Every structure is written in structure tokens, then in C-alpha cells.
Amino acid sequence: MTSDHAADVGHSAADIDKHVKVYIIVFVTLMVLTIVTVAIARVHLPVPIAITLAMVVATIKGSLVACYFMHLISEKKLILAVLALTFAFFAVLLALPILTHSNSFGIWG
């Protein structure tokens, strides 16, 4: 892209540098979180704690990818509401086996 074309589109070199810097920071963060995920797998934690930690890290990584690489961070409120609804259904589906397996809640008898 030539500088004339960048000026026509409305992207200055400083804007592009800013976006590239954000992408690099997100990429490095994703790599660090991948190392954290591997470390969680290698440490001998109780299975429920290891799964919970791995799911938290995966949620953070997925959020970073969705927000920055899929550009959802700058989307309209309707898309964010649909995303929140999707996350709510996902949380319910994750909690469903816990609720049906455990007798401590007394939901299913």
C-alpha cells in the first residue's frame, strides 16, 4: 500500500502502527496463556481444579481472539447482546452436568 493510497483510505502510518502494536500484544498474551495452559496440564492438580483453571484460561483466550482478531470489540450493542446470550447458554450447558450429577443441590431428588 502506498502512502497516497493510505491517505485516501484514511489510515495514517501512526494508526496502522497502533493497530499492529495491539495485535502483537494480543498475540504475545495468547502465547503466554498457551504456556499457562500447558503448565496447568503438567502440574498435578485435582481434576476439577485443573479443568476449572483450563476453562478460565480458554475463556480469556477465546475472548481475546473474538474481541481483537474478529473485531467484536468495536461492534454494535446488538451483536454484543447476542454474544452475551451465547455465553449464558454455554455457562448453563457447562453447569448442567454438575447440577445433574451432584446430590448436594437436591434438584433432581
44-91 pLDDT, tens digit each: 899 888 888 988 999 899 989 988 888 877 777 888 788 889 989 988
pTM: 0.62
Phi, psi of 12 (to 5 degrees): -90, 165
Eight-state DSSP code of residue 73: G
H or E element: which one contains 81?
helix 77-101
The domain limits of the chain are 3-74, 76-109
Phi/psi zone of residue 101: left (φ > 0), alpha (ψ -120 to 50 degrees), beta?
alpha
pLDDT band at 6 (very low <50, low <70, confident <90, very high): very low
Mean pLDDT of 14-18: 86
Question: How many other β-carbons are positioned within 10 Å of the β-carbon of residue 84?
Answer: 10
The lowest-confidence range among 18-22, 74-78, 101-105 is 101-105
CA distances from 90 to 16, 24, 58, 73 (A): 35, 29, 13, 20
